[in-house]
């Protein structure tokens, strides 16, 4: 066994720059996925059958196929089909956003439906219209059910973002691979990348716990 972490020291700043790339892609996809997921979840609980059908089909497709395949379809296949070249960065954000929306919409739908239906009836009996009922009565209660699962989804997204290295985005994973190839060592740069991902996930976990604790104050 010959492990020598000092070999990667000169490359550490190069790998560290990947944190910014990963964070950027994850946070933009996260926001995109959250907004789209919220819209889809509203379709799912709504009255219009066509929108419900659309949202269900959407979720079914994005959950039913591999993420890496979706990424390749968007990055490699879309230009072939449309002639429009898409940057690796845009393809990554688009894929992760679209994919995450499918999961987020299920999380929010389940969270909303877990709120006692008496809450809705009480609001209806008071003459409160649908939209304020959803926003002021149902959603604040649903958040408590939604939050832990949502943090989980964000963690998954952060880790899964490593597959964007396959389309050449210079994220943590890709940079670790480059260092590995340059110096003919595998363990040290990969281990370093693993630690970076782990720290990011721990930070998210902690943030989730803090938020949850704040929410429980009214219990």
Asked if 137 touches other proteins (CB under 8 A), the answer is yes
Asked if 114 touches other proteins (CB under 8 A), the answer is no
Report the residue from 9, 116, 207, 209 that binds other proteins according to the rule CB under 8 A.
116
Asked if 48 touches other proteins (CB under 8 A), the answer is no
Which is nearer to other proteins, 83 or 127 (by Cβ)?
Answer: 127
Asked if 124 touches other proteins (CB under 8 A), the answer is yes
Q: Is 63 left (phi over 0), alpha (psi -120 to 50) or beta?
A: alpha
Q: Copy the structure tokens of residue 36.
A: 């789209």
For residue 56, the minimal CB distance to other proteins (Å) is 24
For residue 117, the minimal CB distance to other proteins (Å) is 9
Q: How far apart are CA 174 and CA 163, in angstroms?
A: 9
Q: How many C-beta neighbours within 10 Å does residue 179 have?
A: 23
Asked if 129 touches other proteins (CB under 8 A), the answer is yes
For residue 119, the minimal CB distance to other proteins (Å) is 6
Which is nearer to other proteins, 132 or 168 (by Cβ)?
Answer: 132
Which is nearer to other proteins, 2 or 218 (by Cβ)?
Answer: 218
Asked if 4 touches other proteins (CB under 8 A), the answer is no
| Nearest by Cα to 200 from 30, 5, 7, 10 | 30
DSSP per-residue codes, 105-166: HHHHHHHHHTS-HHHHHHHHHTT--HHHIIIIIIHHHHHHHHHHHHHHHHHHHHHHGGGGGG
Q: How far apart are CA 55 and CA 67, in angstroms?
A: 18
Residues in contact with other proteins by the rule CB under 8 A? 116, 118-119, 121-129, 132, 136-137, 140-141, 218-219
């Amino acid at each position: 066994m010959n492990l020598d972490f000092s070999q990667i020291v000169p490359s550490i700043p190069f790998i560290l720059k990947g944190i910014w790339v990963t964070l950027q892609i994850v946070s933009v996809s996260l926001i995109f996925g959250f907004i789209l997921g919220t819209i889809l979840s509203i379709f799912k609980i709504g009255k219009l059958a066509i929108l419900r059908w659309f949202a269900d089909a959407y979720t079914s497709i994005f959950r039913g196929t591999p993420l890496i395949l979706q990424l390749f379809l968007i990055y490699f296949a879309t230009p072939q089909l449309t002639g429009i070249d898409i940057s690796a960065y845009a393809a990554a954000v688009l894929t992760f956003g679209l994919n995450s929306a499918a999961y987020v919409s299920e999380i929010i739908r389940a969270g909303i439906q877990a709120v006692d239906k008496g809450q809705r009836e009480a609001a209806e009996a008071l003459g409160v219209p649908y939209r304020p009922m959803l926003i002021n009565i149902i959603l604040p209660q649903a958040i408590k059910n939604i939050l832990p699962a949502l943090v989980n989804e964000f963690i998954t997204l952060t880790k899964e973002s490593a597959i964007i290295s396959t389309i050449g985005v210079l994220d943590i994973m890709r940079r670790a691979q480059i260092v590995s190839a340059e110096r003919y060592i595998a363990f040290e740069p990969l281990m370093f990348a693993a630690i970076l991902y782990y720290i990011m996930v721990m930070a998210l976990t902690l943030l989730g716990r803090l938020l949850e604790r704040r929410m429980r104050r009214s219990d």
